[in-house]
Structure 1
Amino acid sequence: MTIRISNKITGFSVVRPEDATPADVARPAEPPAASEREKAKVIQMHEKLERPDTLRGTTYKIKTPLTEHALYVTINDIVLNPGTEHEHYRPFEIFINSKNMEHFQWIVALTRIVSAVFRKGGDITFLVEELKAVFDPRGGYFKKGGRYMPSLVAEIGDVIEQHLRYIGMLPDRELDARQLKLIEEKRSEFEARTGQSSPESDATYPDGAQLCYKCSTKAMILMDGCLTCLNCGESKCG
């Protein structure tokens, strides 16, 4: 490197190699820390990741009043960084099978598109809301337990959401202490006033319960002019 001297030189001296201090000697670059090396080796999901010969699969059964035969949704997961602290599962592909061939064409298209999004990597949780927002123009249906499904596509989205929670990509739905207390109070008050037992499980809810706009379950009851959901705790009275 050339250094330009603008001032007049009044004197100089030569520094010999043996006179150089340790600070003047160029130090070799330090190798990266172990944690940084490990971080650099962490594999994230991306579209160029090759498919292993074996993947772990989970199959979900969908039975709706819209079709005579059930649909079976299989989601295969790939294990990234196995055996390390960064080990985690990511969905790699999805398959949907049924005896009913009526929806075969769009089901094949849907599975290919969703599988491509899985392999793309990044945040794929947006798929859940996109699929659950699809409404059938002929109308939806109620699942066991009174939960409303606006379409078959929406139920496939619900299955994907269930699977993402299972592998830890989405947090589990947990009611806080205030909501649990409110639900218990409303259950007890409802049973005492009507003499009708309100089951603890989500299999059924009281007759005449309304559809909750938040969780889409027929579990909202009217008590003292206040609508309260016995499934998710949503209340018009806060």
Structure 2
Amino acid sequence: MGMKEFERPFSMRGITTKIKTPHGSMFVTINFFEGKMKEVFVVVSKPGSELRACAEALGRVISLALQKGLPPEDILETLENIKTEEVAWNNFNGHSFTVSSIPDGISKAIKFATQLKFPPDTFPNKNTKEGVNEGAKQKGNSAEKVAKAKNPPDENHKKSNSKSEICPECHSSSLIFQEGCYICMNCGYTKCT
């Protein structure tokens, strides 16, 4: 008897990370289901290019491996430190790191996602008083502490009302503050302070 095949739900939540690579900026979206990584989408280079097709294929193979139960750490260890002739410097939360290839960059995105205290699909659905209270309970913080931690991620950020914040990317009222980062529950935008 084999493992039950993963049946993708209508929607999944995830986190998108922008990483500089020797081939330009790459966007890695990692989606979660029931607290576990299940999908990885990789976008780099121009549409129709060989590089973009290879990155997309790698994302599909990683997704299949995750859905079959392979731990993300095994994928991370397989991809990290694959090198090309050049490196790209990145800065996250005050820490500089290099990315030496597209696979190495994907490993960094997976590592970042594995370090989340709880994955994006466990965040409250709405940035409501109840949602803030539930998220605060899960983290052991008071709702007041969570509310006080909210700061605009940039100068273009605007509050739509006292209970929600506007995402600078998709302009929905779905921006929440978790673990020192602003995360849009609609499009996956992230910015850490």
> TM-score when scaled to structure 2?
0.51
Q: 2:114 aligns with which of 164, 167, 184?
A: 164
**1:111 maps to which residue?**
59
What amino acid maps onto 1:58 in structure 2? Answer: I
2:31 partner letter: N
Higher relative contact order (CA 8 A, sep 6+): 2
- Identity among equivalent positions (%) equals 25
Task: Give the alignment partner of residue 42 of structure 2, picking from 96, 99, 104.
Answer: 96
**DSSP-derived class of the 2:61 partner:** helix
- Identify if the C-alpha distance between structure 1 residues 115 and 122 changes in structure 2 by more than 3 Å, giving closer, same or farther: closer
Which entry has the higher C-alpha Rg, 1 or 2? 1
1:27-72, Cα deviation, whole Å (9 max, x unpaired): xxxxxxxxxxxxxxxxxxx5513111121121111234532xx322
Alpha-carbon distance in structure 2 between the residues aligned to 1:149 and 1:99: 16
- Residues of 1 paired with 2:117 and 2:46: CA distance? 29
The residue number in structure 2 matching 1:198 is none
**Aligned AA for 1:125?**
E
Say whether the 8 Å CA contact 1:78–1:90 is kept in structure 2.
yes
Tell me what 2:104 maps to.
154
1:53-68 paired onto structure 2 within 5 Å: 53-64=10-21, 66-67=23-24
Deviations 1:1-46 (A, max 9, x none): xxxxxxxxxxxxxxxxxxxxxxxxxxxxxxxxxxxxxxxxxxxxx5
* Deviation at residue 75 of structure 1 after TM alignment: 1.0
1:123 offset after TM fit, Å? 2.8
Distance change (3 Å), C-alpha of 1:71 and 1:121: same
1:76-130 Cα deviation digits (max 9, x unpaired): 1101xxxxxxxxx001111122452441121121011100111011533111111
Cα RMSD (Å):
2.3
TM-score of the superposed pair, with normalisation by structure 1: 0.42
**What is the rounded CA distance, in whole Å, between the counterparts of 2:23 and 2:66 in structure 1?**
28
Distance 1:56 1:146, change over 3 A: closer
Instruction: Could you tell me which runs of 5 or more consecutive residues in structure 1 were left unpaired when the two chains were aligned.
Output: 1-45, 80-88, 170-238
The number of equivalent residue pairs is: 112
Instruction: Summarize the Cα distance change of 1:124–1:52 in structure 2 as closer, same or farther, 3 Å threshold.
Output: same
Q: Which residue of 75, 82, 86 corresponds with 2:30?
A: 75
Say whether the 8 Å CA contact 2:90–2:97 is kept in structure 1.
yes
Check the 8 A contact 1:141/1:148 in 2, yes or no: yes
Higher percent of residues as strand? 2
Question: Which sections of structure 2, spanning at least 5 residues, go unmatched?
Answer: 120-193
Q: Partners of 1:146 and 1:168 in 2: how far apart?
A: 24
